[in-house]
Structure 1
Amino acid sequence: MRAPADKSSPPTGPNASDVQAAKYLSEIYHLLQHELSKVIVGQEKVLEEILIAVFARGHCLMQGVPGLAKTLLVSTIGQTMELAFRRIQFTPDLMPSDITGTDILQEDPDTGRRRFEFVRGPIFTNLLLADEINRTPPKTQAALLQAMQERTVTAGSHTMDLPDPFFVLATQNPIEQEGTYPLPEAQLDRFMFMVIVNYPKREEELEVLKRTTGSAVPRVKKIIDAKTIVELQEIVRRVPVGDHVYNFALDLVRATRPNEPTASDFVRHWLSWGAGPRAGQYLILAGKARALMRGRLHVTVEDIEAVAAPVLRHRIIPNFNADAEGISVEQIVEKIITLIPRGKGERLL
């Protein structure tokens, strides 16, 4: 598979057509898929969702049991992109300064004077892998809040910008809860997607066994650099969205709120809290990125439906009734989607 003729200069200038820009982003997406498949077997949906978040300038929280190559997947993505990549292994004794950096007293060898000098932490990177993020206390988890939302870090009296682009790809294990600290809702809301990593299919797992027990070491090529990613993100922002798609995304978000006067009976019965306005923003941005990845210049209702589960699954809170009846968040989202009108100009709430 060939790279685009000039992968470092996407058609984003004033003379570039939107058709060219869409074609370019679609080509980059398929090239990334091809390179990642050299190392990662299967997991096409997971890869697509992570790349949607990258193109839409969002962060991802990956959830799956140990041994499903979550860390390998993120590190391989870093290899296909010419970005600064850092990994933080979250542990119970990790401190906020271990992430953001700290002031260290330094002595000038010429004058002998001492002064504090800020030493930057691993958060000053383009792609940050927050491994097992739920194994560190809330105080340390909160060190990521400002960085993820504002892409800045405040230390003492200084506020410093993070590199552009900046992504947090975090992992967590949903099974072993002893010694873990669930992420607070404010931090969960900073993640564009919660991506569920499931067990591979039988034929995929067989291929994993063959690849990982031999002597061959797969190599991946770098496809894009930081400048190109920023330009691709600008292309995503330019995608037009029809009013009926905006209304569909808005109705979908509002339909998750049990306190709305028009909330469905099953929403009141199964949910304690619904999604906030940030969910609607991410639905639209993710829909734009997904449309371009498929070579389209417009967002459809189907795009919003496709990204609804990863956007909403960590933003709606099931209650005891849902747990007792064995109702999953995905089932609730699917049921809500069936209620939303799809016609232009129609509104539910």
Structure 2
Amino acid sequence: MHPRAGRLRRFRRSGNWKGRRRAGRRRTGGAAFGRQTASAPASVSASLLLRAFEAGRQAALQPGEAADADPLRQANRCWNDWRLANGGAAWKWNVYHQVAAKFVAGFESGKGVSLRNPVLAPTKKTIGAVVTAMNEEKAIPGVLEQLARLPLNELVVVVNGSTDHTFWNARRGIAGGKAVIVHHVRPLGHDVGRSVGAKLLRSDIALFLDGDFPVYAEHLVPFIDAVDKGTDVALNDITPYISAFSGRDPVTIVKEMLNRAMGRADLAANSMTAVPHALSRKAIETIGCTNLMVPPKAQAIAVRDGLKVSAAMSVDVISKNRVRDKNTGIANPVAELIIGDHLEALGLLIRKDGARLHAADGIRNRSALGRMSS
């Protein structure tokens, strides 16, 4: 175990490869890349692992490019060159991570460095991450520790309204790394930090996380992979973690209502309100940083403007969500805010597409009454 991994022990490791709840139990598909369960390791041939190690060692001995000042990013670039040349685009996730780990071991051996338990990303595009935090002094070190395992080009941490040591712990968490900390003394309000961070990022792929609990780097890779392959908005699939309709809370109901109103019943209750999620550069420019303050509105704009929106991965954020005074109880302030956000999104769609949106009324003759004499 990595010496600093103890920080994460109180957080239950969770995350499923695109699960679905069926007949009262969770099921996942394992046929396609990115849809493998975390609990079913696939066998990897010894020869492939040996070839990966040697490829990593040879890559470390090659002169780096101008953009390879960071050894982890150099390893990631070389990894993707070798992976794509050796059929890696078809690997299941468990195979991917096993082979990538061997490549890293070879790279570390050849380079004479330790990369601190890295997780390579299946993309040659630049990757950025935005973390928002308010009074998260205990959790923020673990959040940043996991992000440090990824070959990020940019990291923006938006600390706002904190009265504890969140800011200082964030500074210590990125010591020696290239990151920007935006510090607002007063609270910015729900999701405003995402807009601030997005405005500062220039990367091709942007990850969005909250600072209240860490997400394992391995569980963030599918979001990166989805955007690399053409998805513009890669959502967290919360479907395995919510109950049947009769037992759902109003927020979950209104999330699915908006998706169905947009003709996207396939998205179920998945929403940009939930983290983690990832956006393409095209999505950020199309939606606009200002609109990211209201995640359902941002999602409505994405769907309406033809961006590719889909669920990439299942990460349990429901049981991990930190309990606060404002997010518990019936009609709590956070729930009321999120419901209002969805009504704002619905209002935007109605203004642009009419009161019935895509559900045209082709049955009633609404002009008939006007032709009748009173």
* TM-score range relative to shorter protein: under 0.3
Larger relative contact order, structure 1 or 2 (CA cutoff 8 Å, min sep 6): 1
